[in-house]
């Protein structure tokens, strides 16, 4: 098995090397002497036909429907596996990981806050359709229609169980990521979900070196920690988690009644099975109630503290915007104007814009950050408060059943259930 691990590592290293050659080819200079060859006029590549974009929407609906069918009706892990392979090939390698529902969050955020930006119908559909499916059938999108989920799911090798306390703690990160992604998109700063997508470099066979390293590292981690991106980073997962909790037709481990045989207890690599729980003793219930009330009172305080910290952080966060960064650079280091290697500065100088105008633009952006940052801080305070609140509740549970919020409907557990329909 160690040999196999080494082979996997070698392959991963190869993936790092390949994009480098691609980049060098792209920058190949033309001959220095006249050859008589007429250089073609550079032109903008034709945009992808709209019909093909709608075809993507059709494929998404088809894959979601099949995933739902395999998870709920057919109860076929094999079907979901094959669907994952198709999704990986089509939405991953063929469509280069774009468009994707995760990134569509940013398009939606930008269109809500920037009147000059109009979201495409395709992006909107990619954002909404998985949520609608999840609202009724659980996270079948994660099971078979998400290329990021597929690449991770197919490479789960020997998953280890993550302690519940660590899961709960790390579970705050996707909320923060979601908040930052919305803030940066709404202020027109950046689409950070796309920029820092660890797998898109692998889909495209080309990316910055750091992103390739990040992607390979995530895949290696994913060999043992199943779906690390989905569980501890994915901002779309936050929305899917919320909607999935209300899903009426979520897949079940057992096709009829659970016999508590415990066979499925360790089958989920994502620790998303709720095991049977006894009723808590009366003393514990009283203590939980007190804690519940305390945390209920603390939540506004946490939100206030978060809003204050967010407000204070707006200067720091706004530096991610190129105009703010450039304006501050030119104020702090005016001599940088003479640095011909600083392309940002030279592009600004070449555009003929004055520093006054740039500073004004930067001021407008900073004002947006001022508002957005305190809202983000308050949101994080609320998330922390609600997460604490959730730890004070104890629900009696008689059966082994999926944790609706965190279950990806992958169907692994169903194969372990001996109960016939």
Q: Scan residues 310-349 and list those touching another protein (CB under 8 A).
A: 310, 312-313, 315-316, 319, 324, 327-328, 331-332, 334, 337-338, 340, 349
Considering only residues 375 to 414 of the shown chain, the ones binding another protein according to CB under 8 A are: 377, 380, 383-384, 387-388, 391-392, 394
Cα–Cα distances (Å) from 56 to 23, 88, 127, 227, 421, in that order, read 28, 14, 13, 24, 36
Residue pair 392/288 in contact (Cβ under 8 Å)? The answer is yes
Q: Which is nearer to another protein, 119 or 172 (CB)?
A: 172
Helix, strand or coil, per DSSP, at residue 378:
helix
Q: Which of 213, 216, 217, 212 is nearest to 201 (CA)?
A: 212
Distance of alpha carbon 1 from alpha carbon 390, whole angstroms: 41
Q: By C-beta, is 208 or 312 nearer to another protein?
A: 312
The verdict on 213 binding another protein (CB under 8 A) reads no
Interface with another protein (CB under 8 A), residue from 39, 40, 43, 158: 158
Q: How far is the CB of 37 from another protein (least distance, A)?
A: 10
Q: How far is the CB of 109 from another protein (least distance, A)?
A: 20
Taking CB under 8 A as the rule, does residue 44 contact another protein? no
DSSP code string of 97-125: T-S-HHHHHHHHHHHHH-TT----HHHHH
* Residue 296 or 315 having the CB closest to another protein: 315
Minimum distance from residue 292 beta carbon to another protein (Å): 12
In SS3 terms, 277-328 reads as ECCCCHHHHHHHHHHHHHHHHHHHHHHHHHHHHHHHCHHHHHCCCHHHHHHH
# residues near another protein by CB under 8 A: 84
The window from 26-34, 42-50, 57-65, 101-109 that contacts another protein (CB under 8 A) reads 26-34
> Which of 130/171 has CB closer to another protein?
171
Cα separation, 371 vs 114, in Å, equals 14
Chain positions 5 to 24 lying near another protein, rule: CB under 8 A, are: 7-8, 10-11, 13-15, 17-18, 20-22, 24
- The CA–CA distances, whole Å, from 147 to 142, 159, 161, 208 equal 9, 20, 23, 20
Based on the shown chain and the rule CB under 8 A, indicate whether residue 164 belongs to the binding site for another protein.
yes
Using the rule CB under 8 A, is 266 a contact of another protein?
yes
Contact 236, 102 (CB under 8 A): yes
């Amino acid at each position: 098995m160690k040999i196999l691990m080494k082979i996997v590592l070698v392959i991963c290293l190869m993936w790092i090397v390949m994009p480098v050659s691609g980049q060098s080819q792209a920058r190949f200079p033309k001959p220095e002497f006249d050859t008589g060859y007429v250089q073609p006029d550079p032109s903008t590549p034709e945009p992808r036909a709209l019909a093909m974009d709608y075809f993507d929407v059709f494929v998404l609906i088809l894959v979601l429907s099949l995933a739902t069918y395999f998870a709920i009706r057919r109860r076929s892990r094999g079907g979901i596996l094959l669907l994952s392979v198709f999704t990986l090939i089509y939405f991953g390698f063929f469509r280069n990981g774009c468009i994707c529902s995760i990134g569509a969050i940013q398009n939606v955020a930008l269109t809500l806050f920037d009147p000059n930006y109009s979201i495409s119908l395709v992006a909107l559909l990619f954002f909404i359709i998985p949520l609608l499916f999840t609202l009724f059938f659980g996270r079948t999108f994660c099971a078979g229609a998400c290329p990021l989920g597929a690449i991770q799911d197919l490479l789960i090798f020997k998953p280890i169980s993550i302690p519940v306390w660590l899961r709960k703690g790390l579970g705050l990160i996707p909320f923060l990521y979601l908040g930052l992604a919305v803030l940066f998109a709404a202020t027109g700063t950046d689409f950070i979900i796309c920029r820092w997508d660890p797998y898109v470099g692998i889909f495209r066979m080309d990316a910055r070196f750091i992103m390739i390293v990040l992607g390979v590292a995530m895949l290696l981690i994913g060999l043992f920690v199943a779906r690390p991106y989905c569980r501890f980073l994915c901002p779309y997962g936050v929305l899917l988690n919320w909607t999935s909790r209300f899903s009426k037709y979520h897949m079940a481990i057992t096709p009829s009644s659970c016999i508590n045989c415990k066979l499925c207890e360790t089958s989920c690599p994502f620790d998303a099975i709720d095991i049977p729980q006894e009723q808590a003793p009366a003393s514990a219930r009283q203590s939980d109630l007190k804690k519940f009330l305390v945390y209920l009172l603390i939540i506004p305080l946490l939100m206030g503290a978060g809003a204050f910290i967010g407000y204070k952080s707006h200067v720091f966060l706004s530096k991610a915007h190129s105009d703010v960064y450039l304006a501050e650079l030119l104020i702090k280091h005016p001599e940088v104007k003479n640095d011909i290697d600083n392309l940002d500065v030279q592009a600004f100088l070449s555009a003929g814009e004055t520093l006054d105008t740039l500073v004004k633009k930067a001021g407008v952006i900073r004002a947006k950050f001022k508002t957005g940052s305190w809202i983000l801080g308050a949101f994080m305070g609320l998330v922390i408060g609600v997460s604490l609140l959730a730890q004070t509740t104890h629900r009696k549970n008689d059966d082994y059943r999926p944790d609706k919020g965190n279950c990806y409907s992958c169907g692994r557990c169903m194969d372990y259930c001996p109960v016939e329909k």
